[in-house]
């Protein structure tokens, strides 16, 4: 009974919690910026049809320039590697490679894609690399560094490199959480000295760096705490091992500055309420888990490196792997309403196979009616045309009305959509490039 009482008390506390509401002025600013460019989008959709991915390379370059300016101010010997998994469209890769970025890949397939699209500097991370993937890495040794995920992977890479007498540059990944699902990645800090000692015995393994990664970083606290832990480990490592460390890779996971936008079911209290509510209403409330500005990430990480890493390694090279922060705002999705079945329900010509997952059951993105636009928002189920009730684009639209033939825009869908798209029931749409000046919002 005591355990039941405890669970009930925890549930009550969750229901009393309130995730911060999304500020209306932020939403109006975003929607208004896209409405002001509606003719540009409508012209593109008229030419290519819908559903349609719309890529804006100008936005991508704007984001890259902003990242460069902020991070290079705080971290002098910085190298930036775009995390390919966040959006692997060739135009995205080529644009950032041409800008001077390296590319972070996690498979042999991604490695080929990076090379095909102009990458000159590559880091190859990810667990469970096959022998064939390690052979690919050896073949392109002049362009990449392999981030090893385990002692076993290091042994296999060393054996493969010895087949051709090829020296290969490598780093070792550290896990940031030795418990639960995240223990899948890398090795614990306690094993760092041992793996560098093992690499010393190899003729072909140049183990010259250390990498770690944390995800969904709304602020730099977790990254900074791990840098402090790493510094304490380096303090106790043999000086011979430290002399081989040429770079520290601090990963990525920086959340875009607008924060994480959620529908009620995406909040902790909303999920619990959903389980105990018999007849859910169409939600018109939107929530935002705030994220720190990029300047705060750069300042805090720069300070952490100065306090905990540079005293042991000197001012070494520092790699970072932004993905979502760069590409999120550089791709949008356009749809057309093909059926209005009820006052509060429409069906569009594109399903969520376009994004690859049931994203909008939890995440909020405004659905903007470009054909009849307005800042006012109205409750309405916006469904796709797949044979599943989970094919939901949103629960509201911005516009005066909505009817068959209206063109809808779902902005800022560049991260973890294109890369996850799938051929399920409906074919995948094409992508069109919008060569325009960066948006102001």
Instruction: Determine the average pLDDT of the residues in 159-166.
Output: 94
Same structural domain, 30 and 179: no
Same structural domain, 40 and 99: no
Same structural domain, 381 and 419: yes
Same structural domain, 27 and 141: no
Q: Beta strand pairing status for 260-262 and 331-342?
A: unpaired
The answer to whether residue 275 is domain-embedded is no
**Position 440 pLDDT exceeds 50:** no
Domain end among 306, 327, 348: 327
Same structural domain, 354 and 319: no
Same structural domain, 62 and 50: no
Query: What total of structural domains would you count in the chain?
Result: 2
The answer to whether residue 183 is domain-embedded is yes
The answer to whether residue 264 is domain-embedded is no
Reported as a single tens digit per residue, the pLDDT across 340-383 is 999 999 999 999 999 999 999 999 999 999 999 999 999 999 99
Same structural domain, 40 and 87: no
Q: What is the reported pLDDT for 17? A: 65
Domain end among 308, 327, 346: 327
Q: What is the reported pLDDT for 1? A: 46
pLDDT band at 200 (very low <50, low <70, confident <90, very high): confident
The answer to whether residue 166 is domain-embedded is yes
**Position 79 pLDDT exceeds 80:** yes
**Position 268 pLDDT exceeds 70:** yes
The answer to whether residue 338 is domain-embedded is yes
pLDDT band at 8 (very low <50, low <70, confident <90, very high): low
Same structural domain, 218 and 307: yes
The answer to whether residue 438 is domain-embedded is no
Same structural domain, 50 and 65: no
pLDDT band at 439 (very low <50, low <70, confident <90, very high): very low
Question: Is 361 exposed, middle or buried, given 0-12, 13-18 or 19+ CB atoms closer than 10 A?
Answer: middle
The answer to whether residue 265 is domain-embedded is no
pLDDT band at 285 (very low <50, low <70, confident <90, very high): confident
Domain end among 327, 349, 377: 327
Q: What is the reported pLDDT for 388? A: 95
Same structural domain, 79 and 182: yes
Q: What is the reported pLDDT for 201? A: 87
Q: Show the domain range for 203.
A: 57-258+289-327
The answer to whether residue 103 is domain-embedded is yes
Q: What is the reported pLDDT for 267? A: 81
Same structural domain, 193 and 72: yes
Mean pLDDT of the chain: 93
**Position 162 pLDDT exceeds 80:** yes
Same structural domain, 70 and 25: no
CATH of the domain at 76: 3.20.20.10
Q: What is the reported pLDDT for 276? A: 72
Instruction: Determine the average pLDDT of the residues in 260-285.
Output: 76
């Amino acid at each position: 009974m005591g355990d039941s009482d405890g669970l009930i008390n925890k549930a009550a506390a969750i229901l009393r919690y309130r995730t911060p509401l999304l500020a209306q002025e932020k939403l109006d600013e975003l929607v208004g910026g896209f409405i002001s460019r509606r003719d540009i989008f409508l012209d593109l959709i008229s030419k290519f049809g819908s559903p349609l991915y719309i890529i804006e390379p100008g936005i991508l370059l704007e984001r890259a320039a902003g990242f460069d300016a902020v991070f290079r101010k705080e971290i002098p010997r910085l190298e930036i590697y775009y995390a390919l998994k966040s959006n692997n469209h060739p135009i995205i890769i080529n644009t950032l490679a041409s800008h001077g970025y390296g590319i972070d890949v996690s498979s042999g397939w991604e490695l080929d894609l990076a090379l095909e699209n102009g990458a000159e500097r590559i880091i190859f991370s990810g667990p469970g690399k096959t022998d064939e993937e390690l052979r690919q890495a050896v073949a392109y040794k002049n362009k990449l560094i392999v981030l090893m995920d385990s002692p076993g992977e290091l042994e296999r890479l060393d054996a493969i490199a010895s087949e051709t007498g090829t020296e290969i540059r490598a780093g070792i990944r550290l896990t940031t959480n030795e418990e639960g699902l995240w223990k899948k990645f890398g090795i614990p800090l306690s094993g760092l000295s041992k793996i560098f000692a093992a690499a010393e015995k190899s003729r072909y393994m140049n183990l010259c760096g250390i990498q770690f990664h944390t995800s969904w970083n709304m602020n730099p606290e977790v990254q900074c705490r791990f840098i402090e832990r790493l510094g304490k480990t380096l303090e106790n490592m043999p000086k011979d091992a430290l002399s081989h460390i040429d770079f520290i890779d601090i990963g990525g996971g920086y959340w875009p500055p607008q924060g994480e936008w959620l529908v009620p079911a995406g909040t902790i209290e909303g999920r619990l309420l959903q389980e105990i509510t018999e007849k859910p209403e169409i939600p018109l409330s939107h929530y935002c888990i705030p994220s720190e500005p990029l300047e705060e990430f750069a300042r805090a990480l720069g300070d952490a490196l100065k306090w905990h890493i540079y005293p042991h390694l000197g001012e070494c090279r520092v790699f970072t792997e932004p993905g979502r922060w760069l590409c999120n705002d550089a791709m949008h999705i356009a749809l057309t309403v093909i059926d209005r079945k009820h006052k509060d329900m429409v069906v569009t010509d594109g399903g969520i196979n376009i994004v690859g997952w049931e994203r909008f059951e939890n995440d909020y993105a405004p659905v903007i009616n470009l054909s009849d636009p307005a800042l006012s928002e109205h409750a309405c189920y916006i469904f796709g045309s797949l044979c599943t009730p989970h094919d939901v684009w949103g629960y509201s639209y911005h516009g005066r009305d909505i009817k068959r033939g209206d063109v809808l825009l779902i902005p800022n869908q560049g991260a973890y959509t294109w890369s996850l798209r799938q051929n399920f029931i409906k074919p995948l749409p094409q992508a069109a490039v919008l060569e325009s000046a960066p948006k102001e919002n």
